[in-house]
Amino acid sequence: MSDIIEEPFFKGSTGRNTRGVLRLTILCLIAAAAIASRLFSVIRFESIIHEFDPWFNFRATKYLVQHGFYDFWDWFDDRTWHPLGRVTGGTLYPGLMVTSGVIYHALRALTIPVDIRNICVLLAPGFSGLTAYATYLFTNEMTTSPSAGLLAAAFMGIAPGYISRSVAGSYDNEAIAIFLLVFTFFLWIKALKVGSVFWGAWCALFYGYMVSAWGGYVFITNLIPLHVFVLVLMGRFSPRVYVAYCTWFAIGTLASMQIPFVGFLPIRSSEHMSALGIFGLLQLVGFVEFVRAGVPSRQFKTLVTGFVVAVVLIAFAALVLLTVSGVIAPWTGRFYSLWDTGYAKIHIPIIASVSEHQPTAWPAYFFDLNLLIWLFPAGVYLCFLKLNDEQVFIVVYSILASYFSGVMVRLMLTLTPIVCVSAAMALSYLLDTYLTIKSPPEPTDAQILDAANNSSSKKAGKQDGIRSTREPLVGIYTTFSKTTVVSAMTAYLLIFVLHCTWVTSNAYSSPSVVLASRMPDGSQHIIDDYREAYQWLRQNTPEDAKIMSWWDYGYQIGGMADRPTLVDNNTWNNTHIATVGKAMSSREEVSYPIMRQHEVDYVLVVFGGLLGYSGDDINKFLWMVRIAEGIWPDEVKERDFFTDRGEYRVDDGATETMKNSLMYKMSYYNYNSLFPAGQAQDRVRGVKLPEVGPTLNTVEEAFTSENWIIRIYKVKDLDNVGRDHASAASFDRGNKKKKTTKKRGPKVLRVE
Amino acid sequence: MHFLKGLVLILLPAAAIAAKRAAVDKFQQFHSKALSSTPLKLDDSIYGQLTSAPRDYSVAVLLTALESRFGCQLCREFQPEWDLLSKSWTKGDKKGESRLIFGTLDFTDGKNTFQSLGLQTAPVLLLFQPTHGPHAVADSAPVRYDFTNGPQSAEQVHSWVARHLHDRPHPEIHRPINWVRVIAFTTTILGTLTFLSVAGPYLLPIIQNRNLWAGVSLIAILLFTSGHMFNHIRKVPYVAGDGRGGVSYFAGGFSNQYGLETQIVAAMYGLLSFATISLALKIPRIADPRTQQLAVIIWGAVIFVMYSFLLSVFRIKNGGYPFWLPPFS
């Protein structure tokens, strides 16, 4: 509301410049705040890559920087998924690595020596500043209020919903993808408003970049067609829509097909069919509009309408036919589970097992968005005031993203931008109304009466607009009203800032590779078991020793210990994962042949019983069982791991199958020795363990970290004299075998 | 083993009788019965005959409790599926090449069997493998099917049965076309079309009403952001008792919630949004200064109190949350 401000300083061309400088300063400050609030983990711990997936991205980036782009593109990785290997170059989204690679080489060219690790750690915070700017641009397209954009940028900069995936060290695809998402949407709105091929092409190019960066691009692929479809239904078809969409679709599809991992999916998979269908629909509608403009005959119009309906029906039937006959791939599991919410649990346990694929409970929304969550509907309502093409986009985006975020926790990320934008629109509208010096003159009684009469007579005639805006706008009379509302809002905003800082600092800044705990005197104690164990692997095992672990730790072993793994977080081969699950959940005699066949040298398990670390393998164990059961329903049965009363227990009451499973044995092996007899306690499950601990025959303990979080076992070689491992181990323990009188003597080197 | 012993004891007399006749006859006899009505309705004695030890055929027996006084929901839900499976299997295998007999033993007819097997729950599905003949297996104890994952469909049980009967024909399941459903569906479609074409001119203004769409959109957004999908997927209880005879409205724990709880939260969000909309849109349009002043105070207070309450509710869910606003702390 620049016209309300009276000072000459803000008027005319000087004023425009001043405002521009102010705006730039504010944006820079917002970007600085966005970056700074993401640095908690670097300051508290160190510059380290977090969690699981980022370790793979980091490893891939190092490969790219070392070997160059073309080698990276053709990279076949034989150090994962042993013995299958993985065509890594063709099965990843290269956008993230290429971005860091480009930054790295650019900095080198400027003779700034910088470690690639630091680029990877700081990439996400850096891009969050850009995201704030993109949000500013996007919001400015939506509303005339100049303050809304800045507010939206500030919200986007510090909203925990976005910070959760972009703290320093969280080197994941989402780090750059959210910037690309918002910027693509900005370009799309721009293209739609202007109806220009130029902006449409830019939109398509950034869409292509987005496709190369994150699998979530499908959200854009479906949202833009949906927006166009709603516009057509509303009768808002125009040449602008036609030009913008066709440009985006043609160039964007070609761009997306350049990524090997995507390849021909855009014309084969059902997820992309809506974009193709809307493209066809627009041609039809465009043709009909063209004819309609030329031929003003009533019958002809009916004919044309019939023609359009028939073509749409035929196209739909053809689509169904192609899907049924298998030319078009069916929905991919992850996407399908978004619609049929019970699907994943029945058919694809591996998707259901990932914690970020769980549905969202309401506290998560409030935790991630705080007061934005209730400003959000108000902002959407404001969009209905002046319902242009771009406001329709906000409404469609809001509903779709709300639904998706409810089904899957990780999709909160796609909801956050639109929440920030809508909330900023609502808040800036409120502040524009209340934060102004000018008050309307006090009306006389006659005027009030007059106005009342006027409005009631107007009401009858005006049914079209939104209900709240039928009366004429007056303004706020008293300074008291203004100060109350403005100060209350300021207080809420301050709480919001405090909330965001608190959430970021407490919930989202833990690298999860390093755990922090408090000593009794309040000082920080770092629990570094993971790195201790990976370092042990790196220094004490041969370079090609194969490590078997559950898939969660595959990327970390590859990244930190640099050892080949059987399975990792790129869960492309369910059978292979089920094999590992079977080995973990079966008896030793069953597991040993499996491990031999896969040339496993070491087995790594995560055990939190001593420390009370709840994310350990025993808690994940049921998923291993379930996934294994999916492939071998006769050999592994989930039911056998529950007691008769349906409890999952690890103490004396545990089932035989549970006690004999390799995972159970490896977790609790020798654990008794830490405690006085009969006092062994599991601090995660909070139970007392059986008096006699498990015995292991086919593997031997190789390493246990300081707090017992990581335990590594070496798989024994075949016995030298051909005994089976059970009897060999029992011999070594000194158990008397029947008829053997020989005592265990000193070991002698066998000489042939 | 204990239960096997009991089984053998029960079966001994029956086995003695049955052993005299040729085993082939026994299968043919039951199979011809099955052709007319399957699954066979068993009682204690027939069950004994059917599952007695020397057998060269397989038997699948569903032990169930259908009567309403037992209140076995799962039994009643699974029964039609079981009937469908046995009917389509027997129909597809009239010659009896798969050598499989389906039977149902209701608790009212087979109390002794239930006791001897030591069964506490129903339904239980047992598959007895042949003890001699071409398909004989070493372990003569029946295989038990788990109903742990709720009601099972005929297809799931079919694949389980088929897995245990190697190298034998596995007749497919043919679900009968549900004519009532088809007719109801067609009628509904036609009815809707007729209704639309007649009422179209009157409905069109309603459909094009912007207020309606605004309302629908906001309700959808409030539903989703208050965790409705979580309720839908996890099937959470609507409310739960607090153990002292009262009602607990808010579930403990950050990733846990009740149905009523989400509705309360949605109502809070809705009220806060509505207050914001009123402050932003309606109040600047009130022409009378005193009314306006009053409205500002009222809506401002509503937001303040509601937000304070929301924060206090959130503190229940997340113990360590440090922020609050005055009235509710």
The rounded percent of chain A whose pLDDT value lies above 90 is 42
- Give the nearest partner residue to B273 out of A377, A451, A478, using CB atoms: A377
What's the DSSP call for residue B129?
Answer: P
**Tokens representing residue A36 in the block:** 């700074």
Q: Is the preceding peptide bond at A266 cis, omega within 30 degrees of 0?
A: no
- Please check whether residue A498 touches B, CB under 8 A: yes
Q: Which residues of A touch B224 (CB under 8 A)?
A: 399, 402-403, 405-406
Distances (CA, A) of B204 to A230, A281, B199, B201: 16, 23, 9, 5
Three-state SS at A175? helix
Report the gap between the CA of A293 and the closest CA in chain B (Å). 24
Q: What is the mean pLDDT of residues B55-74?
A: 81
Tell me the β-bridge partners of B220.
none
Q: Would you say the C-alpha torsion B241, B242, B247, B253 has a positive or negative sign?
A: negative
> pLDDT-derived band of residue A401, with 50, 70 and 90 as boundaries?
very high
Q: Residue A590's Cα: distance from chain center in Å? A: 37
Please say if the pLDDT value at position B235 is more than 50.
yes
Q: Would you say the C-alpha torsion A74, A75, A81, A85 has a positive or negative sign?
A: positive
- Please check whether residue A366 touches B, CB under 8 A: yes
8 Å CB contact between B10 and B52: no
- Residue A484 domain-assigned (yes or no): no
Please say if the pLDDT value at position A453 is more than 80.
no
Please say if the pLDDT value at position A39 is more than 80.
yes
Three-state SS at A715? strand
Residue A92 and residue A205 in one domain:
yes
> pLDDT-derived band of residue A654, with 50, 70 and 90 as boundaries?
confident
At A458 the pLDDT is: 45
Q: Pick the last residue of a domain from A430, A448, A474.
A: A430
- Judged by CB atoms closer than 8 Å, whether chains meet at A364 and B314 is answered as no
- Residue A470 domain-assigned (yes or no): no
pLDDT tens digits for A597-636? 999 999 999 998 888 888 888 888 888 898 898 888 888 8
- Judged by CB atoms closer than 8 Å, whether chains meet at B281 and A469 is answered as yes
- Judged by CB atoms closer than 8 Å, whether chains meet at A382 and B221 is answered as no
Residue A557 and residue A533: Cα distance in Å, rounded? 10
Q: For residue A719, which amino acid is it?
A: D
- Judged by CB atoms closer than 8 Å, whether chains meet at A398 and B288 is answered as no
Residues 6+ apart with CB under 8 A from A633: B160, B163
Task: Name the closest residue on chain A to residue B305, using Cα atoms.
Answer: A488
Nearest alpha-carbon partner for B153 in B97, B201, B67, B82: B82
What's the DSSP call for residue B282?
Answer: I
- Judged by CB atoms closer than 8 Å, whether chains meet at B255 and A364 is answered as yes
Q: What's the alpha-carbon Rg for chain A, to the nearest Å?
A: 31
**CATH assignment of the domain containing A559:** 3.40.50.12610
- Taking only residues 258 to 317 of chain B, the set having a beta carbon closer than 8 angstroms to any beta carbon of chain A reads 261-262, 265, 268-270, 272-274, 276-289, 292-293, 296-297, 300, 303-304, 307, 310, 314, 317
ipTM: 0.83
Q: Which residues of A touch B228 (CB under 8 A)?
A: 406
Residue A331 and residue A54: Cα distance in Å, rounded? 27
Task: Name the closest residue on chain A to residue B310, using Cα atoms.
Answer: A366
8 Å CB contact between A23 and A150: yes
Report the gap between the CA of A511 and the closest CA in chain B (Å). 21
8 Å CB contact between B134 and B142: no
Residue A228 and residue A242: Cα distance in Å, rounded? 9
Number of H helices, E strands in chain A: 32, 8
- Please check whether residue A426 touches B, CB under 8 A: yes
Q: Pick the last residue of a domain from A430, A447, A472.
A: A430
How close are the terminal C-alpha atoms of chain A, in Å?
A: 96
Task: Name the closest residue on chain A to residue B268, using Cα atoms.
Answer: A374
What's the DSSP call for residue A560?
Answer: I
- Residue A608 domain-assigned (yes or no): yes
| Residue of B166, B210, B224, B260 to mutate, interface with A, max A Cβ within 10 Å | B224
At A427 the pLDDT is: 94
DSSP H helices in A214-264: 217-233, 239-256
Q: For residue A288, which amino acid is it?
A: V
SS3 per-residue string spanning A374-415: HHHHHHHHHHCCCCCHHHHHHHHHHHHHHHHHHHCHHHHHHH
Query: Which comes out higher in pLDDT, residue A570 or A351?
Result: A570
Q: What's the predicted TM-score (pTM) here? A: 0.81
| Residue of A366, A464, A637 to mutate, interface with B, max B Cβ within 10 Å | A366
Residues 6+ apart with CB under 8 A from A334: A351, A357
- Taking only residues 500 to 559 of chain A, the set having a beta carbon closer than 8 angstroms to any beta carbon of chain B reads 502, 506
- Give the nearest partner residue to B214 out of A342, A374, A466, using CB atoms: A466
- Please check whether residue A66 touches B, CB under 8 A: no
- Residue A471 domain-assigned (yes or no): no
8 Å CB contact between A568 and A555: yes
Residue A537 and residue A426 in one domain:
no
The rounded percent of chain B whose pLDDT value lies above 70 is 91
Task: Name the closest residue on chain A to residue B164, using Cα atoms.
Answer: A634
Residue B74 and residue B81: Cα distance in Å, rounded? 11
Element (H, E) at A604: strand A600-606
At A47 the pLDDT is: 87
- Please check whether residue A147 touches B, CB under 8 A: no
Report the gap between the CA of B245 and the closest CA in chain A (Å). 26
pLDDT tens digits for B248-286? 888 877 888 888 999 999 999 999 999 999 999 888 888
pLDDT tens digits for B173-203? 777 778 888 899 999 999 999 988 888 888 8
- Please check whether residue A411 touches B, CB under 8 A: no
Query: In chain B, what are the domains?
Result: 2-164 (3.40.30.10), 209-317 (no CATH)
Residue A652 and residue A534 in one domain:
yes
| Residue of B120, B249, B273 to mutate, interface with A, max A Cβ within 10 Å | B273
Residue A231 and residue A110 in one domain:
yes
- Taking only residues 335 to 354 of chain A, the set having a beta carbon closer than 8 angstroms to any beta carbon of chain B reads 341-342
Nearest alpha-carbon partner for A206 in A115, A134, A114: A134
Query: Which comes out higher in pLDDT, residue A138 or B81?
Result: A138
At B141 the pLDDT is: 76
- Judged by CB atoms closer than 8 Å, whether chains meet at B262 and A362 is answered as yes
> pLDDT-derived band of residue A465, with 50, 70 and 90 as boundaries?
low
- Please check whether residue A430 touches B, CB under 8 A: yes
Question: Domain range for residue A615?
Answer: 528-732
Task: Name the closest residue on chain B to residue A478, using Cα atoms.
Answer: B293
φ, ψ of residue A121 in degrees (nearest 5): -65, -40
8 Å CB contact between B324 and B315: yes
At B131 the pLDDT is: 79
- Residue A421 domain-assigned (yes or no): yes
At A445 the pLDDT is: 64
Task: Name the closest residue on chain B to residue A345, using Cα atoms.
Answer: B233
Task: Name the closest residue on chain A to residue B291, using Cα atoms.
Answer: A477
Residue A413 and residue A548 in one domain:
no
Q: What is the mean pLDDT of residues B226-255?
A: 82
- Judged by CB atoms closer than 8 Å, whether chains meet at B314 and A366 is answered as yes
- Residue A461 domain-assigned (yes or no): no
Q: How many domains does chain A have?
A: 2
pLDDT tens digits for A725-742? 888 888 888 776 555 445
Query: Which comes out higher in pLDDT, residue B168 or A18?
Result: A18
Nearest alpha-carbon partner for A174 in A73, A269, A57: A57
Task: Name the closest residue on chain B to residue A495, using Cα atoms.
Answer: B323
- Give the nearest partner residue to B227 out of A362, A375, A376, using CB atoms: A362
Distances (CA, A) of A312 to A83, A322, A601, B83: 49, 15, 60, 43
Task: Name the closest residue on chain A to residue B233, using Cα atoms.
Answer: A341
Task: Name the closest residue on chain B to residue A476, using Cα atoms.
Answer: B284
Residue A121 and residue A210: Cα distance in Å, rounded? 20
Residue A736 and residue A744: Cα distance in Å, rounded? 10
- Judged by CB atoms closer than 8 Å, whether chains meet at B268 and A499 is answered as no
8 Å CB contact between B15 and B52: yes
- Please check whether residue A382 touches B, CB under 8 A: yes
What's the DSSP call for residue A269?
Answer: B
8 Å CB contact between B105 and B63: yes
- Residue A74 domain-assigned (yes or no): yes
- Taking only residues 234 to 253 of chain B, the set having a beta carbon closer than 8 angstroms to any beta carbon of chain A reads 234
Lowest mean pLDDT among A243-247, A452-456, B192-196, B300-304: A452-456
Nearest alpha-carbon partner for A137 in A185, A186, A180, A201: A186
Half-sphere exposure of A406 (CA within 13 A, CB side): 25
The rounded percent of chain A whose pLDDT value lies above 70 is 89
Q: Which residues of A342-362 are buried (b: 16+ CB within 10 A; e: fewer)?
A: ebbeeebbbbbbbeebbbbbb
Query: Which comes out higher in pLDDT, residue A33 or A292?
Result: A33
Task: Name the closest residue on chain A to residue B215, using Cα atoms.
Answer: A381
- Residue A466 domain-assigned (yes or no): no
- Judged by CB atoms closer than 8 Å, whether chains meet at B296 and A481 is answered as yes
> pLDDT-derived band of residue B13, with 50, 70 and 90 as boundaries?
low
Please say if the pLDDT value at position A273 is more than 90.
no
Please say if the pLDDT value at position A327 is more than 70.
no
At B40 the pLDDT is: 80
φ, ψ of residue A637 in degrees (nearest 5): -130, 125
- Judged by CB atoms closer than 8 Å, whether chains meet at A433 and B307 is answered as no
- Please check whether residue B233 touches A, CB under 8 A: yes
Q: Which residues of B202-220 are buried (b: 16+ CB within 10 A; e: fewer)?
A: eeeeeeeeeeebbeebbeb
- Judged by CB atoms closer than 8 Å, whether chains meet at A433 and B280 is answered as yes
8 Å CB contact between A597 and A591: no
- Give the nearest partner residue to A485 out of B210, B229, B279, using CB atoms: B279
- Judged by CB atoms closer than 8 Å, whether chains meet at A485 and B300 is answered as yes
Q: Pick the last residue of a domain from A410, A430, A450.
A: A430
DSSP H helices in B172-288: 179-207, 210-225, 228-234, 259-277
- Judged by CB atoms closer than 8 Å, whether chains meet at A502 and B303 is answered as no
Tell me the β-bridge partners of A546.
A600
- Give the nearest partner residue to B230 out of A360, A367, A451, using CB atoms: A360
Please say if the pLDDT value at position A494 is more than 90.
yes
Please say if the pLDDT value at position A461 is more than 50.
no
- Judged by CB atoms closer than 8 Å, whether chains meet at B293 and A478 is answered as yes
Q: What is the mean pLDDT of residues B50-66?
A: 81
Q: For residue A172, which amino acid is it?
A: D
At B66 the pLDDT is: 79
Residues 6+ apart with CB under 8 A from A121: A42, A47, A48, A49, A168, A169, A171
Q: What is the mean pLDDT of residues B87-111?
A: 82
Distances (CA, A) of A85 to A79, A80, A568, A649, B241: 7, 6, 11, 37, 54
Query: Which comes out higher in pLDDT, residue B24 or A710?
Result: A710
Three-state SS at B171? coil
